[in-house]
Structure 1
Amino acid sequence: WHIDAWLLLEYVTSMERAEYFLKKSCNVPEETVQRYFNLISLRASHIPLQHITGRQEFMGLEFIVSPDVLVPRQDTETLAEYVLPLVKGKHVLDMCTGSGCLAISLIKLGNPALCKAADISKKALAVAIENARTNNASAEFIHSDMFCSVSGSFDIIVSNPPYIKTEIIDTLMPEVKEHEPSIALDGGPDGLKFYRIISSEAKNYLKEGGIVAVETGYDQGKQV
């Protein structure tokens, strides 16, 4: 909460924390003060910080976020960092793209020859398309229930699919279970529903020698 309070202060004043420590005093307009406390109230009601600011940094890039997509997380940066050295000049598919953070980061930092990104949610795709525009990244976004509307073959398929067990979702912190899309969280009774689809279908879309790289839950690695 302390960190979020600082981040919201930086957000409403457009001043970094270091500036506050360098200044002996700082006159802040009353309307800014009131806005700050209004945002603190929103955060105290468990609305995610990123939904309040509408932004989240991922791989050094800034992404628009909304309740229609998962907030980009550091766990997914680990997947991006693993795949980045492999994508130059390659054909890449990002399955379950959500905000587009993974696909766009690979485009901007890895220079693939082609990148397609698919999601079942039209609302999520709208966010991803806007993120591609603001980051000047060229990708083909596809409205698709997993591989149903995907065509072509790829050197690399990456995915951060829904992987939380259905029964676990109600135990998650309010910021997640109440404010992030359940369709992007719910991986079925055992959390493995979408990994089964990927493992079954990916071979039909991979070039010879191609790879699949996915994010998993902390206890799912061996099962996946």
Structure 2
Amino acid sequence: MKYATLLNRGKEKLKSAGIEEYENDAYMLLEYVTGKDRNFFILNAKEEASDIIFQNYEKLCEKRSKRIPLQYITGKAYFCGYEFYVDENVLIPRFDTENLVCQAEKYIKENSKVLDVCTGSGCIIISLYKNFNGKIKAKALDISEAALKVAKKNAQDLECSIDFIQSDVFENIPQNEKFDLIVSNPPYIKTEVIDTLMPEVKKFEPVLALDGLEDGLYFYRKISKEAVIYLNPKGRLVFEIGADQRESVTEILKENGYKNIECIKDLNGLDRVITGEHG
């Protein structure tokens, strides 16, 4: 079968499954199967694909048509210009979360001690470490042992020296340990909302990393309250937030004594990051 025909089959299958980015995904899956970029398929549209490529491509298109996320199929996601391994044990890194990294960088200096709470794939702390050429002291926490396994693999693949600890928020961090910056993209979706999310999210991404409990604010309260124990004076806490959570999280930070609170919008003009300074 010619590559052009194979691609069209893939596009039609994904389109009929209701996948919005069906054309891009069809290309991405064929790139993954063959190891070639899409320019090759454009220039060689009439070239015959081997039987093994045909069979493997059909299998992957079938998986994607069941709404399994593309990144879980290929094991690859891109964040801040770096390639990360991902599987069903971690959230897929989102472009919007790059705003969190950009804001966090404003409060980091050489040798700053940085802690990432709810690290998941490790994409935030690893990106910060790489962007500062390894000249920060980095630590990351997650309650999920399976997620930490993914984060450790990513750190190793990207040659980062980061201390990963299994911990329910700060549970396994000594109270005498201090940080200059604490970052977190915690679970912040209301429990009742999860069933309304797109199938790729609600069926395949880990609920543990999505569910912010009844009002979506549980982890903001817990982290904000406990972080004051671990932040140096003038240290910063930086959160990613949902677009409708600015007022609620600002109030939580104020209640816990944070000052100089700022909210930063993403490129779509939505509230995305909140930061507060420890007194």
TM-score by length of 1: 0.97
For residue 245 of structure 2, the aligned residue among 209, 220, 224 is: 220
Q: Structure 1 runs of 4+ off > 3 angstroms?
A: none
Residue 184 of structure 1 aligns with which residue? 209
Task: Give the partner amino acid of 1:219.
Answer: D
For residue 148 of structure 1, the aligned residue among 171, 183, 187 is: 171
Residue 104 of structure 2 aligns with which residue? 83
Asked whether 1:124 is paired with 2:147, we answer yes
Task: Structure 1 unaligned segments of length 5 or more: list them.
Answer: none
Output one character per residue of 1:25-72: Cα deviation in whole Å (capped at 9) or x when no partner.
Answer: 323211111111110110000100011001101111111101110011
Change (3 A) 1:12 1:148: same
- Using CA pairs under 8 Å that are at least 6 residues apart, name the structure with larger relative contact order, 1 or 2: 1
CA RMSD, Structure 1 to Structure 2 (Å):
1.1
Residue 256 of structure 2 aligns with which residue? none
Counterparts of 1:97 and 1:4 in 2: how far apart (Å)? 27
Does structure 1 conserve the Cα–Cα contact (< 8 Å) formed by 2:107 and 2:236? no
Output one character per residue of 1:150-208: Cα deviation in whole Å (capped at 9) or x when no partner.
Answer: 23111110000000000001111111111111110000100000000111011100011
Aligned pairs for 1:1-224 (under 5 A) are 1-23=22-44, 25-89=46-110, 90-110=112-132, 111-151=134-174, 152-224=177-249
Task: Structure 2 unaligned segments of length 5 or more: list them.
Answer: 1-21, 250-279
TM-score by length of 2: 0.78
Does structure 2 conserve the Cα–Cα contact (< 8 Å) formed by 1:56 and 1:64? yes
Other structure's SS at 1:155 match: strand
Task: Give the partner amino acid of 2:83.
Answer: E
Counterparts of 1:24 and 1:76 in 2: how far apart (Å)? 37
Counterparts of 2:135 and 2:213 in 1: how far apart (Å)? 32
Counterparts of 1:113 and 1:72 in 2: how far apart (Å)? 22
Counterparts of 2:145 and 2:45 in 1: how far apart (Å)? 49
The structure with the largest alpha-carbon Rg is 2
Output one character per residue of 1:82-137: Cα deviation in whole Å (capped at 9) or x when no partner.
Answer: 21243232100000000101011110112442010000001100110111001101
Q: CA deviation at 1:24?
A: 5.5
Does structure 2 conserve the Cα–Cα contact (< 8 Å) formed by 1:56 and 1:63? yes
Aligned length: 224
